[in-house]
Structure 1
């Protein structure tokens, strides 16, 4: 029997190049897509800048570049400036503006998810007035933001700062104005929100925050968390904030303080309630507060110092409107003449008396296992009342 050997069948070589060719075509197509997306960055950025400019917020870059190939779009803005015009209440608002200058803003988007933007901001920033005079210097260790939903109306947004510091310029000297370990602000549309009646849910968290020149209670470090639901918005068409606040007031909108908590040492305060706007653009409403360590609040209001200094009328009006300074001084002097030292005793016990007065208006409560008092914090056309005491004045929003 004869053995027959067949030569192996040779496969066409071109089949070996199919996979590499397809990969090359895909790479060329993806590169073309990325280059097109990168070319649209300037178009979208300019459209967004024009939209914001109508609201009195002008953004600009000394130099803008796009990188991140192959899977990301990284837009770098060097020499960034933000000018805010007509964002405050008052007749001169249209003639005033402030400009913030910072070194760099980096915005990153994934090519496959362009509606999610993540931004990082490089410190420091300088805030100047219309004439270029520095007003404040702002610094931080890390700052970042994220927005979901662009270029349409954002559905969700967050801003986070680590170690923010704000200093004000007094001539050429910088003085501390605000400090914090960590600040974050989150906002999103509520589930019941509609296109013609949007409702916004926001959360603000502050760790180890402090403010100078605002109120004595805020100079010591505090932690805070506030949850707010804002209603009364009509749309998100471009407009300055005073105009938007005016629309909210006209629509009967309000800010519902769903939950808030502030802690400063042994002092803990929680509050909930609703705040609206008066026809003059000032806060109106009431929050129900529960406070532990109330005895620490009274000295911070300055009542003992007020009595020791002879009770200036301006100071007295701040904490006890309607009471005349002459009447208080005459009373303390008469007590000293009748029984030497009695006026001093009254001064020393003034804070105890005021605390007792607030306690009488409120009711006993327990907060986080500690004895507390519950009472209203009222806002009357911008004036803030803690029980019977006037403790602050908030400027109008439009």
Structure 2
């Protein structure tokens, strides 16, 4: 019986090549897109740097490379530097920071999130001078959410940051911390229209040398602020921005501030603003627990025993003359030998009592505390009637 089974139909071979061909075309198109976008990275970076330079912030890279093919962009900047011109009230000031490398990473599928990594160390120098400070860290990273020219939020975190003062071959510790982080976001408005900016600064295990013995002991800081009064967030010198802020009646609201150093805990909240001279005005309501333990560290007793320089009195008690104090202690000793010395030795107790009289009793985190205002008047900082600091003008 003859075989009547029909022969199988042969499929065209070209169909087998459709999928591979499509994959090759897609890969070629993707590669073309990636390399075109990579070339645009340099163009956008140069345009941004040129815009920043007009505002007095000059960024430079000795060598720039773009990598990360096929699914992300990695922009590496070697021997990076930024020169800050006209960013303080002293328009002639020039400040330059240099660091070895910055790596900026963006994923293709998440182009509005930029992550940057910073390679330590960095050096800081004034105009025409050798580096005066060296900044180090074990890990430094920042992130920016939103378009590069219209960011929505940003963060920067440093692990184990340190600052050393450089004097020739000698490096002297200036500041240390276990971690320092700063976060910011637009709470209202936008970068182009009346932005309201919220920031959070957190420092853990911080310490500062060469300023005051109180700051040498480790402390933790957590501060949340809210800045309003800006017209926009376009790049411009900081003095110009501060002038705009003052003219618009802008202010900084300290929403929350907490500082802890051992048994000392301080919280504060209030509002600060700028006057027409560029100086800070305002008031913070403070509550402090453990303030009596700070008084001995202020060194009031030692200051009185050695004689009080008039410049010191002008800072802490305007209007009081050093000669008046010396005459007072001398008169006490003449009336009752040794009385002047007793008064000096109990100076810290007297100052503590005076500070306790500034405010009212309160409770903070289950501890006895005092509540009182910290006032800012034309840049001067007052704790009750005592002037404890002076802040220079911001423009």
Tell me the TM-score range normalised by the shorter chain.
Answer: over 0.9
1:275-302 deviation line (CA, Å, top 9, x unaligned):
1112221111100000011112223333
5+ residue gaps, structure 1: none
Cα displacement (A) at 1:73 = 0.5
Matched, 1:106 2:68: no
Match of 1:55 in 2: 55
- Give the TM-score, by structure 1 length: 0.95
Cα displacement (A) at 1:131 = 0.8
Cα displacement (A) at 1:171 = 4.6
The whole-number CA distance in structure 1 between the counterparts of 2:192 and 2:77 is 32
| Distance 1:240-1:155 versus aligned 2 partners, 3 A rule | same
Matched, 1:120 2:117: yes
Cα displacement (A) at 1:3 = 6.9
Matched, 1:227 2:195: no
1:286 to 283, 286, 299: 283
Match of 2:140 in 1: 143
- 1:306–1:315 CA contact under 8 A, matched in 2: no
The whole-number CA distance in structure 1 between the counterparts of 2:267 and 2:363 is 11
Matched, 1:129 2:126: yes
The whole-number CA distance in structure 2 between the counterparts of 1:192 and 1:106 is 31
- 1:227–1:260 CA contact under 8 A, matched in 2: yes
Match of 1:392 in 2: 389
1:315-364 deviation line (CA, Å, top 9, x unaligned):
22222222111111111122222222222221222122122122122111
The whole-number CA distance in structure 2 between the counterparts of 1:193 and 1:231 is 12
| Distance 1:342-1:141 versus aligned 2 partners, 3 A rule | same
Match of 2:297 in 1: 300
- Give the TM-score, by structure 2 length: 0.96
SS of alignment partner, residue 232 of structure 2? coil
SS of alignment partner, residue 147 of structure 2? coil
Structural mapping, 1:167-206, within 5 Å = 167-191=164-188, 195-206=192-203
The whole-number CA distance in structure 1 between the counterparts of 2:297 and 2:229 is 36
Match of 1:237 in 2: 234
The whole-number CA distance in structure 1 between the counterparts of 2:352 and 2:78 is 54
The whole-number CA distance in structure 1 between the counterparts of 2:292 and 2:248 is 40
The whole-number CA distance in structure 2 between the counterparts of 1:278 and 1:97 is 26
When the two chains are superposed, the root-mean-square deviation of aligned CA atoms in Å is 1.7
Match of 2:163 in 1: 166
1:111-158 deviation line (CA, Å, top 9, x unaligned):
233222111111111112221421211111111111122333211111
SS of alignment partner, residue 306 of structure 1? helix
| Distance 1:387-1:335 versus aligned 2 partners, 3 A rule | same
Matched, 1:156 2:150: no
Matched, 1:271 2:249: no
Match of 1:30 in 2: 30
Matched, 1:349 2:346: yes
Q: Once structures 1 and 2 are overlaid, which stretch shifts more, 57-66 or 350-359?
A: 350-359
- 1:109–1:116 CA contact under 8 A, matched in 2: yes
Match of 1:64 in 2: 64
- 1:61–1:80 CA contact under 8 A, matched in 2: yes
SS of alignment partner, residue 394 of structure 2? coil
The whole-number CA distance in structure 2 between the counterparts of 1:100 and 1:2 is 94
Cα displacement (A) at 1:218 = 1.8
The whole-number CA distance in structure 2 between the counterparts of 1:219 and 1:384 is 21
- 1:358–1:388 CA contact under 8 A, matched in 2: no
1:174-199 deviation line (CA, Å, top 9, x unaligned):
22221111000011101366842111
The whole-number CA distance in structure 2 between the counterparts of 1:172 and 1:27 is 55
Cα displacement (A) at 1:172 = 4.2
- 2:286–2:374 CA contact under 8 A, matched in 1: yes
2:93 to 89, 93, 96: 96
The whole-number CA distance in structure 1 between the counterparts of 2:217 and 2:152 is 36
The whole-number CA distance in structure 2 between the counterparts of 1:306 and 1:373 is 25
